Amino acid sequence: MRGVYAKANLPAGKALTEDDVYLAVPLQKGQISCRELMNGEVLLNQVSADQPIRLSDIDSPYAQHSELSALIAKRGVDPLES
């Protein structure tokens, strides 16, 4: 599964569009995938260029659902083990 990465430095408060991100492997633990990306989600935190966008970085309905949030937190690779 492909993870969502920032194309450039993105400030907190920015509403994401497809021009702001790219999809790549690996998908890291806690990172949103191509399945969860929706245009218009607002960044809660600044994300640097080429860094993964994590569920905790965006205002997303997935973050409000405890089971989905837990699943996203556990799937993917641990960036410290890569």
pLDDT band at 28 (very low <50, low <70, confident <90, very high): very high
Structure tokens at 12: 């907190």
Give percent of the chain above pLDDT 70. 99
| Kind and range of the H or E run holding 73 | helix 66-74
Is residue 80 domain-resident? no
Is residue 30 domain-resident? yes
Is residue 14 domain-resident? yes
Is residue 39 domain-resident? yes
Tell me if 10 sits within 8 A of 19, measured CB to CB: no
Is residue 81 domain-resident? no
Per-residue DSSP letter, 22: E
Q: Model pTM? A: 0.91
Is residue 79 domain-resident? no
Tell me if 44 sits within 8 A of 58, measured CB to CB: yes
Task: Report pLDDT for 6.
Answer: 98
Residue-range definition of the domain harbouring residue 62: 3-74
Count structural domains, the chain.
1
**Is it the case that residue 33 has pLDDT exceeding 60?**
yes
- Which sign, positive or negative, has the C-alpha torsion 56, 61, 64, 67? negative
The enclosing domain of 20 has a CATH number of: 3.90.1210.10
Instruction: Return mean pLDDT, the chain.
Output: 93
